[in-house]
Amino acid sequence: MASLGFEHAQSLKYLTAAGLCTSAAALLRVQYESLVRAIWMHHCASDQEVELMLAELTRETAKQASKIPMLSRMLDEIEEKAPHVPVAGLREFKHYSWKPLSSYVHGGIHAVHRHGRGFPMELALMQIRHSNGLLGLAGNLLLIIAGVPAEAGVMGRIYQEFADCLPPVEPPCAAQSEPAH
């Protein structure tokens, strides 16, 4: 499941390189959702839920899968059952990004505006940085699944070496209680 996010991230970068930044923006939300779902599956899902997610796709399995918790509930369960997971960062990403990214996914005002008037380079670069940050979290999850101890420092070294390709640790402006629209 975590590898699905890698496909979304790669596609986001291909679309951005092709100048299709509005479509790329929609993939950032999809990448985020696949990461949260992967973390939830690893730490919280029952064996039955995992089997269902990995089952052959049929009408019946699709119907059953619709009963799997929604994203907000998954975040709650991750926070409850896996306190070592950086849920605060996942929630912060959702808080500030959900409405704008949903607008891109559903052809809302953000998508229409950026498609018609152009996509600022800084926004395109920030999308890539955020996608890379989500990739880092997916990489952490894959290392956990592979049994690589955190003490090995694999991701820490990657984060240091590629800090300029990742989202800023501190927001570039004063923290806001309301998300950007």
**74-124, pLDDT tens digit by residue?**
999 999 999 788 899 999 999 999 999 999 999 999 999 999 999 999 999
In a domain, 31, yes or no: yes
Q: Per-residue confidence at 170, pLDDT binned at 50, 70, 90?
A: low
Q: What is the pLDDT of residue 168?
A: 87
Domain of residue 26 covers: 2-165
- Looking at the structure of the chain, the number of domains it has is 1
In a domain, 181, yes or no: no
Q: What is the pLDDT of residue 149?
A: 84
In a domain, 174, yes or no: no
In a domain, 8, yes or no: yes
Average pLDDT of the chain is 91
Whether 16 shows a pLDDT value over 50: the answer reads yes
Q: What is the pLDDT of residue 173?
A: 47
Mention every residue, 6+ apart, whose C-beta is less than 8 A from residue 38.
Answer: 1, 2, 4, 5, 138, 141
In a domain, 172, yes or no: no
Question: What mean pLDDT do residues 118-133 have?
Answer: 96
In a domain, 176, yes or no: no
- Judge whether 136 and 159 are in contact, CB under 8 Å: yes
Of the given ranges (44-53, 78-87, 148-157), which has the lowest mean pLDDT? 148-157
Task: Name all contacts of 86-92 with Cβ < 8 Å and 24+ positions apart.
Answer: 86/137, 89/137, 90/32, 90/35, 90/36, 90/39, 90/137
Whether 58 shows a pLDDT value over 70: the answer reads yes
What does pTM read for this prediction? Answer: 0.89
In a domain, 152, yes or no: yes
Of the given ranges (13-17, 121-125, 140-144), which has the lowest mean pLDDT? 140-144
In a domain, 138, yes or no: yes
Q: What is the pLDDT of residue 172?
A: 47
